[in-house]
Amino acid sequence: MLRYDALANLTAIAAIGPWDRPYQAITIDSGRRWSACFHVGRGLPARATAEVRVQLQPRGDAAAQLFPGMAFELRDDGHAVAHGRITHCWFGCAEGFGVRTLTRAPFLTEALPLLRQVFRVSDEPFEGNLEGAIAAPFEAGIAERGVLATALWCFPSDQCQALVNAAAAIGDTGLYHWVHEAGISEESLDIDLVCYFPLGTAAEREEFLLFYDVNEPLIGSTLFSATGRWGAIAYGGADHAVLGGPTGFVTTVYDALGTNAEEQALKFLAGYESSYWVRDHSRCPWVPELLTHLYGEAAARHFVAIAEGREPPR
């Protein structure tokens, strides 16, 4: 995950070029000094204002003590080049602000039991492998299941919003965001953080959606319920995701996206790995198994027949 610590509104004092290196910032009220890269694209003309992504140097630097509304001055070689104000912060924040993250020990004791209520975990002791159960990822207690055609390795913003809104509709109070393909070693969790987000209010849901949009994961990732009721896995590079939850959960997501089970199943069967099986049943044999696991045998046979250009069984 290309992690950004915050967003800020930045106003240039004079025309400045692209910022691909750390700059020194000074917090106006406290005089605290911190360093960060401010990602502004091709540069900023004099007196222009832009919203920029902030990467603290070092990442997540607790000394920065960021908080929404914090005013700062940006300096280059001792000279002021811009004024800024933090609008959102997730890491390197003052107490009471930012995202709650989990290291390996609390992940195993707090989050893993909830993950196990939703997904089948294929190894013991657990070392982060979710893709070993790709043909049957959900536990038996997950009543409704489905597939989503994704954009490569993550959930597009509309799918992410549909999942969050469906969680709110069943009264869920929070979720975990885990870049599962990175694993759960201390080293990987220091880079690809496991984050907890409350979902109890509209503002909290919007904050998560903004975080996900800014910090889009670059490899396979998982969203799962803080109450163990639902979850969704985006498989890295496989062009599909699976989602499951209580009765009505998947239907709510599909309705929000203006789609249905058949459309998503056919997109899945036309996808990268699944299309190999459609052309040659000796390849990727997990494909029909997954469809049966998600939708039941009759629906799976119906979807496969359409994908193969046959008359669906009656």
Q: What single-letter amino acid sits at 197?
A: F
Confidence of residue 154 (pLDDT cuts 50, 70, 90): confident
Q: Tell me: the pLDDT tens digits for 232-279?
A: 999 877 789 999 999 999 999 999 999 999 999 999 999 888 888 899
- Residue 124 in this model has a pLDDT that exceeds 70: no
Q: Could you give the angle at which helices 261-269 and 249-257 cross, rounded to 10 degrees? A: 80
d(C-alpha 125, C-alpha 236), whole Å: 23
Mean pLDDT of 180-209: 88
- Residue 1 in this model has a pLDDT that exceeds 70: no
From 139, 148, 306, 296, select the one nearest 229 (Cα to Cα).
139
- pLDDT attached to residue 239: 81
- pLDDT attached to residue 207: 97
- Residue 314 in this model has a pLDDT that exceeds 90: no
Given a contact cutoff of 8 angstroms between Cβ atoms, the answer to whether 37 and 57 are in contact is yes
- Supply the mean pLDDT for the chain: 91
d(C-alpha 88, C-alpha 54), whole Å: 10
d(C-alpha 173, C-alpha 118), whole Å: 16
6-89: CATH topology is Elongation Factor Tu (Ef-tu); domain 3 (2.40.30)
Confidence of residue 13 (pLDDT cuts 50, 70, 90): very high
Q: Tell me: the pLDDT tens digits for 51-106?
A: 999 999 998 999 999 999 999 999 988 889 999 999 999 999 999 999 999 988 89
Q: Tell me: the pLDDT tens digits for 284-294?
A: 899 999 999 99
Phi, psi of 65 (to 5 degrees): 55, 50
From 208, 206, 226, select the one nearest 216 (Cα to Cα).
208
Extents of the domains making up the chain: 6-89, 100-259
Mean pLDDT of 142-168: 91
Confidence of residue 2 (pLDDT cuts 50, 70, 90): low
Give the pair of three-digit tokens for residue 65.
């003590």
Mean pLDDT of 199-211: 96
